[in-house]
């Protein structure tokens, strides 16, 4: 059974600081997703990581994937208040079906 665990679950940080969210998963997968969710809103796709060593960056966010370690990281550089949200990783399973197993989510609070 595929399990996905994120840590930390809650992160309070000051603007300008760097931090990393970790996503561990228990069985092999060929695809990992990162989403952002604002309170009461839908999920916004951030990154799709397809292969070992994949690294993608968008603004202050950078995601990487290590399939051998079954680990993905979401690194936040010089955080700003607008990045406050809940971040989910999700791992694809069951072949190329798009079925996702989600982590519990990491709530990020960036203080001015």
Partner 1 sequence: NAGVTQTPKFQVLKTGQSMTLQCAQDMNHNSMYWYRQDPGMGLRLIYYSASEGTTDKGEVPNGYNVSRLNKREFSLRLESAAPSQTSVYFCASSELRTGTGNTIYFGEGSWLTVV
Give the CA distances from residue 111 to residues 36, 80, 83, in Å, rounded to whole numbers and listed in that order.
18, 8, 10
Q: Is residue 71 classed as helix, strand or coil in its secondary structure?
A: strand
- Spatial CB neighbours of 55, under 8 Å, sequence gap ≥ 6: 62, 63, 64, 65
* Rounded least distance, CB 38 to partner 1, Å: 11
Per CB under 8 A, the list member of 33, 63, 83, 85 interacting with partner 1 is 33
Closer by beta carbon to partner 1, 8 or else 16:
8
Closer by beta carbon to partner 1, 80 or else 102:
102
Per CB under 8 A, the list member of 3, 17, 41, 111 interacting with partner 1 is 41
């Amino acid at each position: 059974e595929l399990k996905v665990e994120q840590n930390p679950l809650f992160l309070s940080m000051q603007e300008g600081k760097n931090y990393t969210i970790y996503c561990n998963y228990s069985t092999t997968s060929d695809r990992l997703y990162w989403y952002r969710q604002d309170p009461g809103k839908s999920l916004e796709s951030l990154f799709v990581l397809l292969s070992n060593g994949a690294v993608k960056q968008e603004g202050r966010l950078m995601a990487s994937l290590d399939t051998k370690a079954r680990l993905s990281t979401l690194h936040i550089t010089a955080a700003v208040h607008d990045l406050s949200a809940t971040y989910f990783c999700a791992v694809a399973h069951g072949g190329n079906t798009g079925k996702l197993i989600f982590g519990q989510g990491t709530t990020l609070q960036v203080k001015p």
